[in-house]
Each structure stands twice: as structure tokens, then as C-alpha cells.
């Protein structure tokens, strides 16, 4: 089989017509700023915040300019200060340690397991040292760890958990939606995530004080009473003079595009999983390749898929990448020594010096990643798996010949 895949790994679906109409209405009104609303009109952003809070089962929600800004806002609202140590995943994307660094705080990396989740034994050891009060937990690539055990460890150590749900919007652990375990959860609506407004994000929480600080931080001025998913004005009285405006709001245009998409989230998640499950089935049993087994309690959203080439040489992995690319299959290698595209390793973030994590290095070196945009058909996904299977197999056999 030497078929070549012709699809584009960066091509998302078009914005739904209903969302385009809503966006046109906002543009015709000229009222794009979230607080620039007509008398008696709630505005698209405030409505979206209420709808997102309801969809996630949270009391409060704030829409933000980006996922990264939601994370930095959540950390700041949770009281993280310059010099504080903040625990976070060694396997994640650059905006996660970046949000910590943006506050002058210091990321402390927790290792990754072969299941691609945070290493809970390592977390327990670091939590026991008692010098970090916050864990910024990234559900990287949609892999959810044993959240019951994670919360036990963090509760016992008095550590506040902020969840980065950029890849788990719509996913759940043991029947609880991802983002509902920690003190606050952050989401992204950037083009490659589960809702697409180009840029954007959400912060959701049940904590009224945290949300009041977050709203002021996001740039509400004293217009916070126009929010529909924020605490009562009395709560703001306590924080309004002592919380800076860091400006990172969402606008009505993006919110208008997101509201119809949010109504379709469950359907879209199911469509991602059909694609994911097709690729996973096609990869299973490939010699030398490790499929990531998903725990029974995890309900994931397969908007991308990962597999491991554990203990392969760098040369052999590079050869797999080259051969797959020649057949139109774009794999990303999280273990590459140099940061490339959107992948980088904890040791590439040199503003935050890290101790070496040998077990994690072994896993990171092995991770290959492939996006699964919804523009791919199920047949496309079967073809993708077939190509990877054949090329991994060829290199594996070559290396043992």
C-alpha cells in the first residue's frame, strides 16, 4: 500500500451559518466591545458566559481573550504572587509554564507517565515538600489522570488545583466533567481546540471571591454588574480597590460565533471520538508501537491522538516522521530536542530552569502526535492508521534486520 493522504491537518470545519449570521448582526450593530450594549440588552459575551457556566455545571464563568489569559487570570485570582513556586506538568504546551512565568512565579515540573498523564507519585513527593501552594494541572492532549487520587494528594497537602482544560472541554472523569474537580478551570476557544473563535477562552469556578477578582483582572472596570455568570456586587466591594485591571476581555463578535458552537459541543465530541477510535483500532498491534490505553473512568474527546515509539533511537523516529510525511501524514514529535511548531519540551523553557526527569525524558522522546480535525472522514482516519502502521512497521523491521 503506497496510497498518499491528501487531507490538511490544519483544516477545521467552517464556522456554522447560524454563527456567521450572529456575527454579522453584531458587526451591523457596531457594538463589539462587551460592555458596549444597548439599554436592556445583555450582550453576546454575558449570554455566552451564562450558557458556558450552565453547560459545565459551574456557578460562575468569565470569557477571556485567550486560553493563556484565562490561565494567568486564574492563577493571579487564586493568589499566586511573584516568586511563588507553582507545580505543573512537564508534558504540556508552552502557554502553560508561560502563564506561570507571566506572574513572576516559578514553574516546578511534575513528570509524565507512559499513559501521558501527570505522575501522581512524583506529584505526591513534590507536594510533600510543602513549598508550592498551587498546581496548574494540564490535561495535556486530553489525557485525564486519576482525578480522585490527584485531589486526595492536593487536598491533603493544602494545594489549590487550577485545571487547564484546553484539550478536555466536554470530557469527563468518572462521570464528572473535566474542570469540575479543581478550584477553577480554564478553557481555550482558539482555532485548534473544541470550539473555534480564532482566539478566546473561559475561566469557570464556583468560588465567588476568585471570580470577582478574575472579572476585575480581565478588565471589567466597574461594569461587573453587567455579567450574568458572576457573583453579586457585594463580593466585588471586597476586591475592587485592590485588584488591578490586566485587560484580557472577550468581545461580542467572538461570543456570537461561539454560542451556536457551544450548543453542538456534545455532537462534535462524539464525531471526534469516531475518528479517534478508528485510528486507534488501526494502530493497535503494530510491532514496536505503543497505543495509549484509556482508563475506563475517562471519557475523552479525541481531537488528537498520541502513540509511543518507546526506546526507539532518535534516528529511527526521525525516519518514521520522514516516511509518514512523504505519504501526507503529519506527525508531531514532542521529544524533538529543538522546539518546533507548537511542540516543545520542558527543557526548552529556559526562563524556568528544570531538574532533569529521566523517566519523563524517556516518555517524551517517544511521543508522536497527530491532529484529527473534523474535516477528516472516517475513511481518511482508517487510511491514516494504515499508513502509520506500514511505515512504523517498515522502519521497525529495518532496524532489526
Binding site residues, ligand PLP, CB under 6 A = 66-68, 92-93, 95-96, 138, 140, 164, 166-167, 188, 190, 201
Nearest distance in Å: CB 326, ligand PLP: 28
Nearest distance in Å: CB 342, ligand PLP: 8
Which is closer to ligand PLP, CB of 78 or CB of 96?
A: 96
Nearest distance in Å: CB 284, ligand PLP: 26
Strand partners, 136: 88, 162
Which is closer to ligand PLP, CB of 67 or CB of 182?
A: 67
**Which of 137, 145, 127 is closest to 185 using CA atoms?**
137
One of 6, 193, 297, 332 is an active-site residue; which one? 193
Nearest distance in Å: CB 10, ligand PLP: 14
C-alpha cell at 102: 507571566
Nearest distance in Å: CB 392, ligand PLP: 25
Residue closest to ligand PLP, measured at CB = 67
Which is closer to ligand PLP, CB of 115 or CB of 231?
A: 115
Active site annotation includes 240? no
Nearest distance in Å: CB 223, ligand PLP: 24
Give catalytic residue positions.
Answer: 193
Amino acid at each position: 500500500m503506497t496510497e498518499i493522504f491528501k487531507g490538511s491537518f490544519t483544516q477545521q470545519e467552517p464556522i456554522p451559518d447560524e454563527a456567521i449570521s450572529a456575527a454579522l448582526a453584531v458587526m451591523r450593530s457596531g457594538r463589539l466591545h462587551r460592555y458596549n450594549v444597548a439599554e436592556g440588552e445583555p450582550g453576546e459575551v454575558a449570554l455566552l458566559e451564562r450558557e458556558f457556566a450552565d453547560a459545565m455545571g459551574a456557578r460562575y464563568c468569565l470569557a477571556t481573550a485567550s486560553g493563556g489569559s484565562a490561565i494567568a487570570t486564574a492563577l493571579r485570582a487564586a493568589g499566586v504572587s511573584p516568586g511563588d513556586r507553582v507545580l505543573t506538568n512537564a508534558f504540556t504546551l508552552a502557554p502553560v509554564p508561560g502563564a506561570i512565568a507571566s506572574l513572576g512565579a516559578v514553574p516546578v515540573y511534575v513528570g509524565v507517565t507512559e499513559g501521558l498523564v501527570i505522575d501522581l507519585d512524583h506529584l505526591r513527593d513534590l507536594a510533600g515538600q510543602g513549598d508550592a501552594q498551587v498546581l496548574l494541572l494540564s490535561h495535556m492532549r486530553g489525557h485525564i489522570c486519576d482525578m480522585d487520587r490527584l485531589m486526595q494528594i492536593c487536598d491533603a497537602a493544602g494545594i489549590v488545583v487550577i485545571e487547564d482544560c484546553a484539550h478536555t472541554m466536554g470530557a469527563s472523569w468518572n462521570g464528572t466533567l473535566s474542570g469540575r474537580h479543581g478550584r477553577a478551570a480554564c478553557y481555550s476557544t482558539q482555532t485548534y481546540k473544541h470550539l473555534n473563535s480564532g482566539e478566546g477562552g473561559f475561566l469557570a469556578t464556583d468560588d465567588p471571591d476568585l471570580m470577582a477578582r478574575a472579572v476585575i483582572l480581565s478588565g471589567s472596570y466597574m461594569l461587573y454588574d453587567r455579567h450574568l455568570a458572576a457573583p453579586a456586587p457585594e463580593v466585588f466591594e471586597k476586591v475592587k480597590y485592590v485588584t488591578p485591571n490586566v485587560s484580557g476581555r472577550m468581545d461580542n463578535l467572538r461570543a456570537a460565533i461561539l454560542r451556536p458552537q457551544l450548543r453542538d459541543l456534545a455532537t462534535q465530541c462524539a464525531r471526534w471520538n469516531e475518528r479517534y477510535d478508528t485510528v486507534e483500532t488501526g494502530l493497535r498491534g503494530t510491532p514496536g508501537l505503543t497505543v495509549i490505553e484509556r482508563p475506563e473512568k475517562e471519557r475523552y474527546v479525541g481531537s488528537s491522538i498520541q502513540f509511543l515509539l518507546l526506546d526507539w533511537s532518535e534516528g529511527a523516529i526521525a525516519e518514521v516522521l520522514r516516511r509518514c510525511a512523504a505519504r501526507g501524514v503529519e506527525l508531531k514529535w514532542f521529544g524533538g530536542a529543538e522546539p518546533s511548531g507548537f511542540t516543545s519540551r520542558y527543557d526548552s523553557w529556559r526562563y524556568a530552569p528544570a531538574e532533569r526527569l529521566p523517566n519523563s525524558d524517556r516518555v517524551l522522546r517517544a511521543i508522536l502526535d497527530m491532529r484529527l480535525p473534523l474535516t477528516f472522514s472516517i475513511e481518511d482516519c482508517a487510511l491514516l492508521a494504515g499508513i502509520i502502521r506500514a511505515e512504523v512497521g517498515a522502519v521497525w523491521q529495518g532496524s532489526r534486520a
